[in-house]
Amino acid sequence: MGGSGQDISPVPEDTLCAIENRAVELARLAGTEIIAALGRTLAVRYKGDPENEASLKDPVSEVDHEVEVLIRALLGEHFPDHDILGEEIDEGPSRDCDFVWAIDPVDGTTNFVNGFPLFAGSIGVLYRGQPIVGAVWCSTSHSLRPGVYHARIGGPLSFEKEEVTPKGHNPTIRRRLAGEPQATADHSLPWDIRKTGSAAIECAFAAAHLLHVARFERPNVWDVAGGIVLVRAAGGEVRVKDEERGWIDMDRFHVPGMTNGQKASLRDWRRPLIVGDASAVERMCRSHED
Ligand code: IPD
Ligand code: CA
Ligand code: CA
């Protein structure tokens, strides 16, 4: 299965391939570090006010930070003129750099620190805001193995360097699965709900046709940048909610105007997003019009 055809690369193919190969290496490195940490007792802290119980929903472990440091160092060697937007280190990106690497060193940290085996390390590369390469290391996959789903714009979806050919839909399965931010079921919709705790895994699983569709309420760029490329490469659709125009095709991440009266950056982008099979995306958009 090739790319969706609608995606035309703004970057030469050899550059894209070089970026994809490097992104796969870095995602794999994240996976290796994550696996190596599984036997350790992790130091976990929570972002936000430690006195406030409500802020205990955003944990971060030493691994998240270590992996981002490693990836930043390697990127600095290989692509010194590219910029980096990472979850754990509040540096960059500048507004005038064409290439930005969006990195979530551990996505699904709450699962990870609890040993619940669904987490990821996500890398997405943007060219002038447009996602062009994705590499997402996942703790499990369609083949029940950990590994990296990856793609470049206009290219196929691969898993560990092999093209993914999803099984044709089994018509005896009447209800497929949808990733949702809340695990409340609406039985009028034609799917069962899964809340996995990892936005990056949900994107990768939607690309691999394990989920029919997935919806995200306010993802960060690093949660979904890599996954968007995977979904598109597998022929799926990605829609973002625009305040005025409703659900529109997502072509690129735009830097928001202002945040709290301050000039914003890509770090401040957070918009509702739906990814997956075109018909299911359309249906999901209709059920979230307002
Ligand atoms: C979180 C996960 C989760 C999503 C949150 C993200 P993290 O990322 O992707 O599924 O619901 O919005 O922040 O904190 O584990 O990297
Ligand atoms: Ca995340
Ligand atoms: Ca994270």
Q: Over pLDDT 90: what percentage of the chain?
A: 77
Average pLDDT over residues 187-205: 95
Confidence of residue 6 (pLDDT cuts 50, 70, 90): low
118-124-128 Cα angle (round to 5)? 155
Residue 66: the pLDDT is: 96
CATH number of the domain at 132, please: 3.30.540.10
Element (H or E) spanning 124, and its range?
strand 120-127
263 has pLDDT over 90: no
Mean pLDDT of 52-72: 89
How many angstroms separate the CA atoms of 83 and 103, rounded? 11
Confirm whether 263 is domain-assigned: yes
Q: Which residue has the higher pLDDT, 2 or 251?
A: 251
Q: Are 233 and 6 in contact (CB under 8 A)?
A: no
Per-residue pLDDT averaged across 8-25, rounded? 94
Q: Per the domain annotation, does 64 fall within a domain?
A: yes
Give how far Cα 229 sits from Cα of 9, 20, 281, Å.
12, 11, 16
Residues 6+ apart with CB under 8 A from 244: none
Residue to mutate, 88, 198, 216, 220, ligand 1, most ligand atoms under 8 Å from C-beta: 198
First to last CA, the chain: 35
pTM (two decimals): 0.94
Structure-model confidence comparison of residues 262 and 17, the more confident one: 17
116 lies in some domain: yes
Arithmetic mean of pLDDT, 25-40: 96
* Of the ranges 37-51, 181-195, 273-287, the best mean pLDDT one: 273-287
Concatenated DSSP letters of 127-185: ETTEEEEEEEEESS-TTSS-EEEEEETTS--EETTEE--PPPP-TT---EEEE-SS---
Q: Which two tokens stand for residue 124?
A: 């997405």
Q: What is the arithmetic mean of pLDDT over 76-94?
A: 92
> Residue 4 domain-assigned?
no
- Longest CA–CA separation in the chain, Å: 54
How many whole angstroms from 133 Cα to the centroid of ligand 3? 19
Asked whether residue 8 is assigned to any structural domain, the reply reads no
What is the CB neighbour count within 10 angstroms for residue 199? 26
Ligand with smallest separation from the Cα of 63: 3
Which residues sit with Cβ closer than 5 angstroms to ligand 2, an ion?
104, 107, 223
User: What average pLDDT does the chain have?
Assistant: 92
Position 6 in a domain? no
pLDDT, tens only, 223-240:
999 999 999 999 999 999
- Is the confidence at residue 38, as pLDDT, over 60? yes
Nearest CA to ligand 1 atom 2: 198
**What are the CA-CA distances from residue 144 to residues 33, 118, 140, 141 (Å)?**
19, 11, 5, 5
Residue 3 lies in a domain: no
- At 177, the pLDDT band (50, 70, 90 cuts) reads very high
Q: For 281, which DSSP code? A: H
Rounded to whole angstroms, the Cα distance separating 229 from 289 reads 24
Does residue 39 lie within any of the structural domains? yes
What are the pocket residues of ligand 1 if the criterion is a CB atom closer than 6 Å to any ligand atom? 104, 107-109, 181, 197-199, 223
User: From the alpha carbon of 196, which atom of ligand 1 is closest?
Assistant: 10
In tens, the pLDDT along 42-56 reads 889 898 877 777 777
- Cα(106) to ligand 3 centroid in Å equals 4
Give the model's pLDDT for residue 3.
47
Query: Can you tell me the mean pLDDT for 245-261?
Result: 88
The number of domains in the chain is 1
Which residue range(s) make up the domain with 44?
13-287
Check whether 1 has a pLDDT greater than 60. Answer: no
User: How sure is the predictor about 259, in pLDDT bands with cuts at 50, 70 and 90?
Assistant: low
Ligand 2 midpoint to CA 107 (Å): 4
